[in-house]
Amino acid sequence: MKFDDLLHVVAQEPIFESALLLAGSVDPNDLRRQLSRWTRAGRVVQIRRGLYALASPHARARPHPFLVANRLVRGSYVSCQSALAHHGVIPESVPVVTSVAAGRPARWTTPLGGFEFRHVKPALLYGYETIDVGGQPALVARPEKALLDLVHLTPGGDSMAFLESLRLQQTERFDPAALDEMARRARRPKLERAARRLRRLVTGEAQEYEPA
């Protein structure tokens, strides 16, 4: 395969898998060697084994980190602080993209950034949607689910002290009813307690006594 052939096949793809190039009579060993040569020459960026992106100036657009995260671990979605920062409900920028998935926890350091994957049970993989990030589609948790995922994965994450430490902003973006429904669906007392406390933070309801 020539580089012009590669450009023709993947020109519209911010990220591509080597399997995409194996149609027809392409020899897999020859393709791997060619991809290695293009990577060393700086024409292609290897994200992980079998996953690549075109390098500048050949790429039409730099892959968005959220799309990279989705493709690094299939079945994952961006959540926790990364999703919250994207939605503008926490003030901090987040240098590492955090996602949740049913697989093992993992961390990846790639030429396109750092990525962390947190484990949750398959029953908790809900509350996300496909959104447009710089013209690219990515699976990202809704603000309510991103908060609940963070609570679930943080020891003591349901405490009022922790929830207040997040310094939530633009709280009008939260849907209290969706927050309650997502917490009930999880069937975890910790998340239901957190949802009640978050609702008070989001809506400004008066604080009521509640055991820790």
In a domain, 30, yes or no: yes
Residues 111 and 147 in one domain: yes
Flag whether pLDDT at 124 surpasses 60.
Answer: yes
C-beta separation of 78 from 66 below 8 A: yes
In a domain, 211, yes or no: no
| Structural tokens at position 142 | 């809704």
Mean pLDDT of 154-176: 94
Structural domain boundaries, residue 143: 65-203
Residues 112 and 14 in one domain: no
% of the chain at pLDDT higher than 70:
96
Q: What is the pLDDT of residue 204?
A: 73
Mean pLDDT of 19-43: 88
Could you tell me how far CA 190 lies from the centroid of its own chain?
Answer: 23
Mean pLDDT of 81-94: 92
Flag whether pLDDT at 25 surpasses 80.
Answer: no
Q: What is the pLDDT of residue 209?
A: 46
Number of domains in the chain: 2
Among 77, 71, 97, residue whose Cα is nearest residue 13: 71
* Count of C-beta atoms within a 10 Å radius of residue 6: 22
* Count of C-beta atoms within a 10 Å radius of residue 152: 22
Q: What is the pLDDT of residue 98?
A: 98
Residues 105 and 189 in one domain: yes
Residues 44 and 75 in one domain: no
Phi, psi dihedral angles at 53 (to 5 degrees): -140, 150
Q: What is the pLDDT of residue 177?
A: 93
